[in-house]
Copies of this chain bind each other. A is one copy, B any other.
């Protein structure tokens, strides 16, 4: 031991702050190590979350694609029936395909937009206004069905709306 070492040791032993210093230094080291570990965990989590999301999106698409396969099969069978001029079979096939597709879409949360009653700009798109015996502002014809998916309007219904009421007869009646 050099005289300096001895002196330092004496200072450490005699100083009341020496223990606290030592404890603080240890605590500091531990905090830094914890911080680095947490930072590394966070980084890894971020990377994994990005990968998981890509996989999830792919799987969400895959699920629906898989459910569409039997519909594609039945559609091909209907076309075979058409090629063989089996009209009844073709018609049945088309109706089956339609029912299947409707059920699949319903299961995904799709629901038709209501068109009975008053024009509603949130779910309807007015393509025409026509004089009518119906109440002014009511939907009198649906040109294209509209659909909601859950809370959202996926496609508004394209409709014809009744204009001012005709008092003199049903000549302007459209729907």
Q: Which residues of A contact B (CB under 8 A)?
A: 11, 15-18, 20-21, 24-25, 27-28, 31-32, 34-35, 38-39, 41-42, 45-46, 49, 52-53, 56-58, 60-66, 68-69, 71-73, 75-76, 78-79, 82, 87, 90-91, 93-95, 97-98, 101-102, 105, 108-110, 144-145, 147, 149-150, 152, 154-155
Residues of B near A65 (CB, < 8 A) are: 64, 105, 108-110, 149, 154
Q: Is the interface of A mostly helix, strand, loop or mixed?
A: helix
Choose one: B18, B72, B94, B110; the contact of A94 (CB below 8 Å).
Answer: B94
Contact A16 B24 (CB under 8 A): no
Choose one: B20, B73, B76; the contact of A21 (CB below 8 Å).
Answer: B20
In angstroms, Cα B21 to Cα A138, docked, is 80
Residues of B near A24 (CB, < 8 A) are: 21, 24-25, 28
Contact B94 A90 (CB under 8 A): yes
For the complex with contacts A56-B57, A73-B145, 17 further pairs of A-B residues with Cβ separation under 8 Å are A11-B16, A15-B15, A20-B21, A21-B24, A24-B28, A38-B39, A53-B53, A56-B56, A56-B60, A62-B154, A64-B65, A65-B154, A72-B102, A75-B94, A76-B98, A82-B95, A90-B90
Residues of B near A62 (CB, < 8 A) are: 149, 152, 154
